[in-house]
Amino acid sequence: MFSIWTPRKSDDEVLIAASGKGDTEAFDELIRKYEKRVYNFAYRLTGNSSDAADVAQEAFIRAYRSVKSFRGDSSFTTWMYRITTNIYLDMRKKASFGKVVSIEERAEKKESGRSAEIADPAPPPEELAITEERRKIIRDAVNSLPEQHRIVITLFRFEERTYEEIASILNIPVGTVKSRINRAGLALAKILQARKDELF
């Protein structure tokens, strides 16, 4: 005989508790709910869809393995960000993991010729609108940032996490989060400055 089963509530706590007891359907519901966010975060970290799928998939697998021990100290979202970040960092160490194209080399080559250039007498603008072309350059620049900087920029500016959430995700003090974000923003601006001929 069939058993009558009523649809579960889409409440994270209920789903997490059920997942912890081995309920794969409950976990499937969690995947459904968070796959877009986790995948996009992984994509922003890795810069390509193939690695993003690997990272995001592994993040959910790892989450399922340890869902029993999830105590709810942070939100499920923060927890998934933490897992995804750690997996990304682990995978970066593997040689087979896709390399993000660095434009710093290009920038350095350009730098050597700069002293011979005649300075543009017109002052640069105060504001720069983000055109499609500039978006690509910024994207490249973000991808070329050192890991630590790229991660905090991604979490703070793109994923719009708070300082406290980022501190929890990365397991670092809030003060360190703030200074790392500032340094990352500056580093990003400097990378863009090396490509200013394309931007202005």
Partner 1 sequence: MNCKDFEVMLPTYVDGGLDGDLADACRKHIDECADCRELAALYRMAAEYKPEEVPVPPYFRANVISALAAEKRRAAKNNFFSMGFSLRTVAATAAAAALLCVAVWFTPAKSAIADMLNISDIPALESQNAANDDDDSWRSVDVGRVIYSAPDSPIKFALDTRAGEGKILYFFKFKNSDKSGTTYAVSVGDDSGERVIYSGNDDCGVPVAVAENPEAKSTVVRVAATKNGVRNDIFVMLPATDDPEASGRRLFRSEAPTLLGALRNASATYSVIIIAPAKVEIGAGRISYEDKTAAETVKELAEGAYSLSDRVFVAE
- Interaction site with partner 1 (CB under 8 A): 1-7, 24-25, 27-28, 31-32, 35-36, 39-40, 43-44, 49, 52-53, 56-57, 60-61, 64-65, 119, 123-130, 134-135, 138-139, 141-142, 157-158, 181-182, 185-186, 188-190, 192-193, 196, 199-200
Residue 59 amino acid letter: A
Residue 165, φ and ψ in degrees, nearest 5: -65, -40
Nearer to partner 1, 2 or 73 (CB): 2
Q: If DSSP codes are grouped into helix, strand and coil, which group holds residue 85?
A: helix
In whole angstroms, how close is the CB of 83 to partner 1 at the nearest point?
Answer: 13
CB 79 → partner 1: shortest distance, Å? 16
- Which residues have C-beta within 8 Å of that of residue 21, sequence separation ≥ 6? none
Residue for token digits 């009523």? 6
Q: Considering the complex, what minimum distance in angstroms separates the CB of residue 99 from partner 1? A: 19
The Cα-based distances of 98 to 50, 56, 59, 92 in angstroms read 9, 15, 17, 8
Between 101 and 186, name the residue whose CB sits nearer to partner 1: 186
- Which SS3 state, helix, strand or coil, does residue 97 take? coil
* R_g (Cα) of the chain, nearest Å: 21
Q: In the complex with partner 1, which residue's Cβ is closer, 73 or 133?
A: 133
Nearest residue (CB) to partner 1, 82 versus 195: 195
